Structure 1
Amino acid sequence: MRAAYKTIFKKKLEGGSTLTQQLIKNSLLTPERTIRRKLREFVLTLIVETIYSKEQILSMYLNQIPYGSTAYGIGAASELYFGKNAKDLTRSEAALLAGLPAAPTRYSPFGAHPELAKNRQETVLRRMQEDGYVSPEEKEKIVLEDLKYTKPEKLKAPHFALWVKDQLAEKYGDILVEQGGLRVTTTLDLDLQEFAEKEVATEVAKLKKYNVGNGAALISKPATGEVLSMVGSKNYFAEDEDGKVNIIFAKRQPGSSIKPLNYALAFRDQKITPSTPLADVASCFNVLGQAPYCPKNYDGNFHGAVQARFALGNSYNIPAVRVLALNGIENFVEFAKKMGITTWENSSNYGLSLTLGGGEVKPADLATSFGIFANQGIKQPLISILKVTDWKGKTLEETNLNEIKLSGDRILEPEITFLISHILHDNNARATAFGESSYLNVRGHPEVSVKTGTTNDLRDNWTIGYTAYALVVTWVGNNDNSPMSGAVSGVSGASPIWNRIMKQVLDKVEEGYYDKEDDGHAWPKQPAGIIGANVCATFGNLPSETSGEAGCATKFEYFLKNKVGASIETGRKDVQIDKTTGALAHPELPTELTETQNHPFLLDSLGTLICLDCPIASHSASIKYPL
């Protein structure tokens, strides 16, 4: 009556919520929302409830409502999902189907989030237990029963298509999406999609002997956020890794691929410059009430004083943790949220390992974050839908790509993104760790900026690279988080997939396939606020800043105009040396084992003393955090 009153007297349309109204809407009326249709729904509801019993109405309802995909009615749903008649369903299967009508597109086991179907089933069983239909023991037994689905129909770009459908259902509702005859134009490049699917499947098959079971890839145009391809698994129909799960929206540990965000924050806040030396020595960080945190490098070695350009390029862990200590964890978490990371919440949940991948992220979020670097600081959300029309041809929504291009929020200034992008495309800056001829070099496209990431426990392996025209994220690993073998690293695993996909998409870009205005190679553009200067190759200071080193060997580097050089303390001083090793002496070493010597030194940004012509000490520098 409330709905009728508002419809007739206040000219407002209000959705009906009774089971009978849902039956009428789904089976007898069109999806359009008009006063005439609402009045017909009201009258028909009264008629149906007069003629039929509640049991009959329930039976009709269960045989009419959508259950996701192409299934309408419990019988069709039973056949679609389990290949059997409804009367032959197990309790586990029946409970799963009972939970679907609330949001069939969202909860469908063949939808964009198949894991939600199981979650919904457990919700249904919990309610059944609360209402006394099953005992706690029965409920647990049913939850553990194996669900064996039929094979869903063959789809093109299945993870992408289901993501699109999920978005449409969220905006327009399941009924209109399933029955409304919508016509949808998307951002998908089907040829590129099929190429990416083949590359992911082929490489994962090669890596099977290294215990790699799955892979994923995402390709976008950073300036507009258009998703050109989405490969959510090695094969949507794979059963060994549950290929229906879309890894692009799953939470995974990013490894070192998160480091550029950490360095970008430090550059922005002028904590460091690209030439700032960072102490890559044995280091332990002491946090009150916690065991010391002593990070290790991927190669197990220490590299002494490493300037920030080479520390990031070679992806050294210890310098990255030092940079996070300078930034502060809370500050970094808040910055990462602005950069598009949606999975980090309370900063108190994280430690200094966060910069090494200690916080889970979604591949889609990393695409957004790295897109900011590609867009010179503009955050452009990922999009998949360009136009939607109804069955009559009426346009429900349409995206003008020229209007949305680089229209997002500015998160960083172009000067900061230039420094990050230039470091990540500098092959010399990463050559020590990755070699000069790795898969991070795309043939014919030296302008590409790229970062890898491998978690310490070898559960996730990433490569993310971009230009202003295209961005590619690739991942390999296992759905169950089981570790891969040591043969998978920053220069294997995800990087061969990334290399071939990146070349394919950039070749298409250069042909003007996506936009005729895309002109050749998109090198990182030097903004007005960036200048180049020669600095001391060892210290990173301007020659004039370095005590006693006016004639030091120099190297060229880029800087913010108002923050040139490293400006760190350097020179020569008397230091205590361990007689047995020639390295800096540990403070607790007996005096008879030490001697005073004069050596060139520098103090890094955390105050760690580095002897520049001594062996690197094996004992750990101790740093109190927070600083």
Structure 2
Amino acid sequence: LLAQTQNKSTRILDRNGRMLFEIYVDRQYNPVALTSVPKYMVDATLAVEDSSFYGHIGIRPFSMLRAAKATLVDDTLQGGSTITQQLVKNVLLSPERTFGRKLKEIVLALMVERTYTKDKILELYLNNIAYGGTAWGVQSAAQKYFGKDISQIDLAEAGLLAGLPSAPSVYSPFMDKEVAKQRQKIVLDRMTELGFITKEQSDEAFARELVFVLQTEYIRAPHFVNHVQNELIDLYGKRMVYFGGLTIKTTLDLDIQEKVQTIVTDEVEKSGPALNISNGATAVLDAKSGGILAYVGSKDYFSQKDGNFDVLTASRQPGSSIKPVTYALALASGRTPATVIEDSPVSYSAYGQTYSPVNYDGKFHGKVTLRQALANSYNVPAVKLLRSLGVEKMVELGTKMGLTTWQFDNTFGLSVTLGGKEVRPLDLVNVYATLARGGEYAPVAGILSVTDANGFEIYEADGKRAQVVDGGVAYLISHILSDNNARAAAFGYNSELVVPGYTVAVKTGTTDAKRDNWTLGYTPSYVVGVWVGNNDNTPMNPSLASGLSGAAPIWNKIMRSVLDGKQNEPFVIPSTVFVKVDKECQNASEVFLNGTAPKNLCAIKKDDKSERR
């Protein structure tokens, strides 16, 4: 057991083999004697991880029985591990979650208890548990988060550190300070409950503002590196990732990443003060593979003000950028781009409340085609469509297209089509990637290969793909979203949604009170999604104009940069779609799925300006 404390560093590379980050094990692993660890840190760890540590034999049979029962009843593997079991699991065993591995863990835990004293086991545990990033053990954790030797840690700091090991990426103060404080409160409350500290000590420690060390370690594409590390830990376990001497080749293109990061930072700093925008995030995907080419979780990872917070994996409301899901469902249900929808006042009642949707411009536009409704992002037609289609069906389709956090329940209402339900920004970008692939879902990928210390390839990519949207329907959505004439009524002909010389499908979104602003667009090869707003959810300036300011200029610059030097790539018309040209109606044209076109287009053609009110 003592020989298993440290091995080789792990390297994370971009797709071309350039270094993004190296986990320097020797520098980050600093074991200390238990006598050097403050009593507060020991008590906090025992309180939250294993309060009966000094009284059991290495396992807790009743806790294990409860976990086994949950496994049998719910078909989910659960824990029940002691500190001794966690030590064995992290140092001696592979990460798979099976009953065979659990049995080995139990046997080894009993052997460890017979071999070492309780104090020695606790010392080994404190030196061999992951506290987030490259911090392995309490000494490295104290230095990483507070710039202190572990012996100098006080109660408030101990409460935070002790809460990290169960989920370092979730509870890290560099990811979300509020979540970290909530976790600290749980630890302090548990210490109070067990009599380690008084209620007054707990309250005083919780009230104290913690000062963290600015993270300046050498790292490129830091949010992406963290994203990949978390994925690797899920696959191989913390010890393998941090000490296994792995070489990870990722999907990231460092050239694209650095250009995109510069654009986001410069644009937010330039226009942010006037629009009350303090942050921005973007993801660029290879549409065909789902691979991440650029990943910017915030405008400045190293900023002391929430820079480490990764917006791409946070929960944000998508606004109208979610509408393509509704319209894909509508087109799959028999509607066409020429279907006429009445954009007029309407009210719905549910749970004793009345819901009356309004448009972004505060006007109603009379009879509009489905093409006009989606292209101009009119709210009322989208709500009317969803009412006839069914909210649950939209949620089901959104989930299939990539929204991993959606699960239908009674909190989903008609406003979901206007962005009333939160999504992960990275998931939303993948929804658009699904459309770019002609309706085929593929998981977002950050890893190309993983090679172990002996040079063997050990990674098997998730090749799960599924046709979740009909190819013809996906083409119709792309055709509408790339139609600059159709959206001119709302956005004009020269908006930031136009990339001269290129066919690009694009959609904007802005939430109520302007707390989130989005622009997402794609070609058959590239997907770019941009979000701007404030981490604390404060509103942006009311003068922000979707498609003109906020996310759109950033999106435009990024898309131009990505497409620079490349040929225009129009969307390929599938065999299930045809173009109808009506010579008797001034050569009016529209695209339809086979068998859905009306006899003539004059019946649905109208002067949009004359009917607007």
Scaled to the shorter chain, the TM-score interval is: 0.7 to 0.9
Query: Are residue 429 (structure 1) and residue 486 (structure 2) matched?
Result: yes
Structure 2 residue corresponding to 1:303, chosen from 347, 359, 365? 365
Superposition deviation, residue 88 in structure 1: 2.8
Q: Who is 1:623 aligned against?
A: none
The 2-side partners of 1:64 and 1:456 are apart by 47
1:486 shift after superposition: 2.2
Q: Which residue of 1 aligns with 2:147?
A: 83
- 2:229 equivalent among 151, 158, 165: 165
The verdict on how the C-alpha distance between 1:135 and 1:353 changes in structure 2, with shifts beyond 3 A counting, is farther
Q: Which moved more, 1:492-501 or 1:332-341?
A: 332-341
Equivalent residues of 2:133, 2:226 under 8 A apart: no
Structure 1 position 291 matched with structure 2 position 291: no
What's the CA shift for 1:214? 0.3
Rate the CA distance shift 1:181–1:102 in 2: closer, same or farther, 3 A.
Answer: same
Where does residue 232 of structure 1 map in the other structure? Answer: 297
- Residue 504 of structure 1, CA deviation: 1.6
| CA distance in structure 2 between the aligned counterparts of 1:555 and 1:45, rounded to whole angstroms | 80
Residues 92-119 of structure 1, C-alpha deviation per residue, up to 9 Å, x if partnerless?
2101111223344554445x67765444
List per-residue Cα deviations over 1:150-185 (Å, max 9, x = no partner): 012242100000000001111111111111111111
Aligned to 1:125: 188
Q: TM-score if structure 2 supplies the norm length?
A: 0.78
User: How much has 1:468 moved relative to structure 2?
Assistant: 1.1
Higher alpha-carbon deviation: 159-168 or 368-377:
368-377
| C-alpha deviation, 1:533, in angstroms | 1.9
Equivalent of 2:220 in 156, 161, 183: 156
1:555 is aligned, of 584, 588, 593, to 588
Q: Provide the secondary structure at the position in 1 that maps to 2:354.
A: coil
2:573 corresponding residue in structure 1? 526
1:486 has 2:549 as partner: no
**Counterparts of 1:402-481 in structure 2 under 5 Å?**
404=463, 408-445=465-502, 447-481=503-537
5 Å-filtered alignment, 1:94-113, equals: 94-104=158-168, 107-110=171-174
Q: Which residue of 1 aligns with 2:374?
A: 312
Aligned equivalent of 1:200, options 250, 264, 267: 264
Closer, same or farther: CA 324–133 of 1 in aligned 2, 3 Å: same
What percentage of residue pairs aligned between the two structures are identical? Answer: 43
**Correspondence 1:336-351 to 2 at 5 A:** 336-351=398-413
Is the Cα contact below 8 Å between 2:520 and 2:527 reproduced in 1? Answer: yes
Going from structure 1 to structure 2, the CA distance change for 1:306 and 1:17 (only over 3 Å counts) comes to: closer
Distance across 2 between alignment mates of 1:492 and 1:245: 24
Partner of 1:624: none
1:362 Cα offset (Å): 1.1
Q: Which of 545, 556, 562 is the aligned partner of 1:499?
A: 556
**How far apart are 1:248 and its partner, in Å?**
0.6
1:74/1:86 contact within 8 Å kept = yes
Contact 1:185/1:387, CA 8 A, preserved across alignment: yes
| Offset at residue 284 of structure 1 (A) | 2.4
Would you say the 8 A contact 2:95–2:236 is kept in 1?
Answer: no
- Quick check: 2:501–2:568 contact (8 Å CA) kept in 1? no
Q: Provide the C-alpha distance between the structure 2 equivalents of 1:389 and 1:127, rounded to a whole number of angstroms.
A: 42
Cα 1:399–1:521, aligned 2, differ >3 Å: closer, same or farther? farther
Partner of 1:275, secondary structure, is coil
CA distance in 2, matches of 1:172, 1:102: 16
1:392 offset after TM fit, Å?
A: 1.6
Letter aligned with residue 148 of structure 1: V
CA distance in 2, matches of 1:183, 1:616: 60
1:103–1:174 contact (8 Å) kept in structure 2? no
Inter-CA distance 534–204: structure 2 relative to 1 (3 Å threshold)? same
Matched residue type, 2:491: F
Cα distance in structure 1, aligned partners of 2:433 and 2:112:
57
CA deviation after TM superposition for structure 1 residue 444, in Å = 2.8
Conserved 8 A contact 1:106-1:166: no
Looking at structure 1, the residues matched to 83 and 351 of structure 2 have their Cα atoms a distance apart, in angstroms, of: 57
CA contact (8 A) 2:438 2:474 kept: yes
Q: 1:114 to 1:172 in 2, by over 3 A?
A: farther
**Residues 65-94 of structure 1: per-residue CA shift (max 9 Å, x gap):** 332333333222212110123233232210
Contact 1:210–1:488 (8 Å) recurs in 2: yes
How many residues are treated as equivalent by the alignment? Answer: 530
- Quote the offset at 1:120 in angstroms: 3.5
471-480 or 346-355: which moved more?
A: 346-355
* Residue 308 of structure 1, CA deviation: 1.1
What's the C-alpha RMSD, in Å, of the aligned pairs? Answer: 3.4
| Distance change in 2, residues 1:204/1:566 (3 Å) | farther
Q: Structure 2: how far apart are the matches of 1:209 and 1:434?
A: 21
How many Å apart are 1:488 and its aligned residue? Answer: 1.9
Pick the structure with more helix per residue.
2
User: Is the aligned partner of 1:92 residue 2:147?
Assistant: no
SS of corresponding position for 1:461: strand
Whose Rg is larger? Answer: 1
Q: Is the counterpart of residue 74 in structure 1 residue 130 in structure 2?
A: no
Distance in 1, matches of 2:309 and 2:450, equals 26
Specify the SS of the correspondent of 1:521. coil
Alpha-carbon separation, structure 1, partners of 2:287 and 2:195: 53
After superposition, give the CA deviation of every residue in 1:305-353 in whole Å (9 maximum; x if it has no partner): 1111111111111221122122122222222222222233234212222
CA contact (8 A) 2:589 2:601 kept: no
Maintained 8 Å contact 1:69/1:108: no
Q: Unaligned regions of 5+ residues in structure 1, if any? A: 4-14, 511-519, 536-542, 544-550, 571-601, 605-609, 618-627
Q: Is the partner of 1:156 in helix, strand or coil?
A: coil
User: Which one-letter code corresponds to 2:524 in the other structure?
Assistant: A
Q: Which moved more, 1:140-149 or 1:192-201?
A: 140-149
Contact 2:402 2:430 in 1 (8 A): yes
Q: Distance in 2 between matches of 1:524 and 1:213?
A: 36
- 1:227-266 alignment runs, 5 A limit: 227-240=292-305, 242-266=306-330
In 2: Cα distance, 1:179 partner to 1:613 partner:
66
Matches for 1:389-400 after TM superposition, within 5 Å: 389-399=451-461
Q: What CA distance in whole angstroms lies between the structure 1 residues aligned with 2:514 and 2:95?
A: 52
In structure 2, the residue corresponding to 1:559 is in which secondary structure? strand
Q: Compared with structure 1, are the counterparts of its residues 173 and 483 closer, same or farther at alpha carbon in structure 2 (3 Å cutoff)?
A: same
Give the match's secondary structure for 1:123: helix
Query: Is the contact between residue 214 and residue 304 of structure 2 (CA under 8 Å) also seen in structure 1?
Result: no
TM-aligned CA distance change 1:427 to 1:54, over 3 Å: same
Q: Is the 8 A contact 1:273 1:565 kept in 2?
A: no
Q: Distance in 2 between matches of 1:399 and 1:614?
A: 55
**Structure 1 residues 157-166 or 147-156, which shifts more?**
147-156
Higher mean C-alpha displacement, 315-324 vs 213-222:
315-324
1:554 Cα deviation (Å)?
A: 5.8
Shift in CA distance, 299/137, structure 1 to aligned 2, threshold 3 Å: farther
